[in-house]
Structures are given as C-alpha cells and as structure tokens.
Amino acid sequence: MADITTMASTLGRETATKVREFAATNSAAKKTKDAIYTIVGLGVLSVQKINVAAKAARTKVDETVDTEGLNAAVKSNTADITSAVKRTAATVDAKVNEVIAMAEAIVTPYEEKLPTAAREVAAKVRAMSTAARAKVTEALHDDVVVEAPVVSESETTPA
C-alpha cells in the first residue's frame, strides 16, 4: 500500500512538474492562461458593475416615489447585468473546458502506466469531475429568471 501511495505521489509530482513546464514553454498554454486571467478580470468587473447598479437602485428607491418606474428600471438593469454575467461565465466555462482537455491530454499517457487499482481510482475521479463540470456547464446555460424585488411606497418614504 505504501508503495502505491509513494508511486502515485511521485507520479503526481512529476506530472504536475511537466504540466507546469508545458504551460511555461507552450505559447498556446500561455495565451490560454492569459485569456483565463482576462476572463476572470471581466467577471470581477461585472460583479463590481452589479454592486454599483444595486447601490444606484437603492439610492433611486430612497429618492423617488415612482416605485413602478423604478421597479421597471431595476428590472431592465438587472436583466442587462445578468446577461453580461452569464456571457462572461459561459466564456470562462469554455476556457476552463479547454484547459481541462489540454491537461487530460498530457496526463493520459502517465495514467496508463499506473497500477490497476490506481487507474480505477483515477477513472472514478475523472467520472466524478466530468459529472461536476457537466452540472456547472448546465447551470451556466439555464435561463433562470431572477425577479427584482418589488419595492412598496412605504419602503421609499423616509420616516
């Protein structure tokens, strides 16, 4: 058992080193990494936009009596922001899938050299991760409608 654990640990370290070396020397991997960082940055900007829009909406609610008009504006802004976030998330998901495919292409030859028990574990881990990725991708592509909360006039009138 200790031999398998030691061998698996060593193989894992060697694989990680080779993946790092590949990522450091391969221009496609560098571009993919840069693209992922850019996408994450866009996601952060989207979250910041959501926070700014939410603060603006709260300010408008506090300053206005026209709750119907305000609710319509909030719903419109929420739909635009939600759409932008979903587009960004879908782009991130696509890039992550590309990186996973590249990593699997690198790891597969080493996986074949593992003992049978370790290969079975690796297959189970891969199946579980594939199922998890499928759920994430499915969630990103669901058209879930988020309703903006309805603001009553009593909530907008200062006490």
For the whole model, what pTM was predicted? 0.37
Residues 6+ apart with CB under 8 A from 75: 147, 148
Residue 102 has pLDDT above 60, yes or no: yes
Average pLDDT over residues 111-134: 82
Number of Cα atoms under 13 Å in the Cβ half of residue 72 = 3
Residues 6+ apart with CB under 8 A from 61: 67, 70, 151, 155, 156
In eight-state DSSP terms, residue 147 is P
Percentage of residues in the chain having pLDDT higher than 70: 83
Average pLDDT over residues 106-115: 80
Closest CA to 32 of 99, 92, 103, 89: 99
The pLDDT score that the predictor gives to residue 64 is 61
Residue 135 has pLDDT above 50, yes or no: yes
Whole-angstrom distance, CA of residue 102 vs CA of residue 2: 30
Percentage of residues in the chain having pLDDT higher than 90: 1
Residue 148 has pLDDT above 70, yes or no: no
